[in-house]
Amino acid sequence: MRLKIGSLLVISAMLVSGVLGLITPVHGATSSLNITGPLLEPTISDGNFTIKGSFRSTAIVKKVQISVCYLKDSDCYAYLYDQKGAITRYEKLFTAELSASGASAGDYSLAFKDVGSGLYNIKAYLLNSDGSRSAAVNQQFFIDRTGKTPKPPIVNASKGYITIMWGRTNWQATKTPDCAPLPGARTLQQNADDLKARDLTAVGGVVVGRTNSTGLSCFSGYTLQPSWQELAMLRDNYGWSFVSQGMDYLDMTQLDSTQKYNESVATLKYFEDNGHDRAWGAFNYPKNKYDSASYSIVNQSFAFGRKYWDGRNTRDSVTAWPRAMSTNSVNGGRCNNPNLACYNMAVTANRRTTSVDKLADILSPGANEWGVVQFYRLVEGKYGAIGDSAAWDCSSSDWRDRWTSQPELYCRQSFLEVLDKRTTSAQSIDPAGVAMAWGINPSKRR
């Protein structure tokens, strides 16, 4: 089958640059391979690009082989069939041109032209003369020859990753019991605006049973909850994605196997029915409760399972069983200045406001590292007084002086300082994107 992608698309293209990766060989020689092209260019008008890079091995390199697939809904939907833009449903391997034959190190290149608009993934590996083959390295790039195609999430494995998550996707802090918004309580859309201004996206953990079809709803008096309608708005206008935080927010360790499945895997259909196809990236264990029996069910359909910890992950740590996604659950609470009354005030679970510097460090990962932080509800200004059930003082210019009366309330000013102190070289991405970059594809993924 020979089909043409976007043969009428004629205006502009954009490609995202390379990946560097050390390769573990299948057997035999120790090999390394990297991709340096497609090069980062603002526009390419004709859909032409050259895949290139370098290789090194302890044996003689026989060939470098490459396939290029067209991604649809995070999966390889079709492959380039030839070097002139035709496609096929089946993987096609091309042999790149080497800078020198009979060598153990050198460069390679492979040119394509007239390729249509879309998100693509390059897969490359080398074959040695001793019969060994390296594992594949991958790189994504985007072509838009219309100037109108929405840019999908692109994974660049040469960077560190960050994920900014929202626990239970609370919309806004409210007064108990009538759910009237508290003065100074930020909405989730306002938080999305703050992130968008810094070219950042976010991920929401969704309790399916608390999510209506349309309209905000009150939950237990203390927060408004968004519906699938608001979640679609955040997805379409701000690039957010969403993951499951359970059907009914039940303790997984207290459920039998059928109940565990219904609380976790069964929720994926609700996301898909509402147009969210990246929920497989992570399962946020309700109440941070999990056990080995839960892992055996969840890990078949989800790439990662959220675990409250430091928030720092490495490629090795999250690809090893049980694929736990370390997440820093960001606390408000007592202030960090021992000279103020807020330092010793009464707060649930004796929580102290999480350090801005610590969170900024988590959001400054290096290559093959991933920082994950989770907020709940943001507030700003000053409201109430110490001793009130809902109160905060976020007015100080020093984050150490700021406090909130509840652990899940955090000062917006501190939130913004965290974002502005992070490294801007790390890629803002969701768990599904990390899974794709690091080769995790659950065996029973929907």
**Residue 19 has what pLDDT?**
38
- pLDDT tens, residue by residue, 208-261: 999 999 999 999 999 999 999 999 999 999 999 999 999 999 999 999 999 999
- pLDDT tens, residue by residue, 345-390: 999 999 999 999 999 999 999 989 999 999 999 999 999 999 999 9
**pTM for this one?**
0.74
Domain closes at, from 143, 170, 196: 143
Residue 76 belongs to domain with CATH number? 2.60.40.2550
**Residue 139 has what pLDDT?**
83
* Residues 354 and 432 grouped into a single domain: yes
* Residues 337 and 411 grouped into a single domain: yes
Q: What is the DSSP letter of 435?
A: H
Q: CA 440 → CA 117, 323, 444, 445, distances in Å?
A: 26, 10, 12, 11
Residues 6+ apart with CB under 8 A from 34: 18, 19, 20, 21, 53, 54, 55, 137
* Residues 119 and 178 grouped into a single domain: no
CA pair distance 140, 240, nearest whole angstrom:
19
* Residues 182 and 115 grouped into a single domain: no
**Residue 150 has what pLDDT?**
65
**Residue 158 has what pLDDT?**
65
* Residues 312 and 189 grouped into a single domain: yes
pLDDT at 17 over 50: no
> Are 365 and 318 spatial neighbours (Cβ–Cβ below 8 Å)?
no
Closest to 155 in 3D by CA, of 428, 441, 442, 444? 428
Model confidence band, residue 191 (pLDDT cutoffs 50, 70, 90): very high
**Residue 20 has what pLDDT?**
37
Residue 340 belongs to domain with CATH number? 3.20.20
Percentage, residues of the chain above pLDDT 90: 73
* Residues 133 and 251 grouped into a single domain: no
Within a domain: 155: no
* Residues 62 and 120 grouped into a single domain: yes
Model confidence band, residue 429 (pLDDT cutoffs 50, 70, 90): very high
Number of domains composing the chain: 2
* Residues 117 and 231 grouped into a single domain: no
* Residues 257 and 187 grouped into a single domain: yes
* Residues 363 and 334 grouped into a single domain: yes
Q: What is the DSSP letter of 293?
A: H
Domain region containing 177: 161-437
Q: Where are the beta strands (DSSP E) in 160-274?
A: 161-166, 172-175, 180-181, 203-206, 217-219, 223-225, 241-244
**Residue 146 has what pLDDT?**
78
Within a domain: 149: no
CA pair distance 130, 26, nearest whole angstrom:
12
pLDDT at 88 over 90: no
**130 against 446, higher pLDDT:** 130
**Residue 361 has what pLDDT?**
98
**Residue 36 has what pLDDT?**
84
Within a domain: 153: no
Within a domain: 152: no
> Are 375 and 353 spatial neighbours (Cβ–Cβ below 8 Å)?
no
Q: Return the sign of the alpha-carbon dihedral for residues 102, 105, 106, 107.
A: positive
Q: What is the average pLDDT value for the chain, to the nearest integer?
A: 89
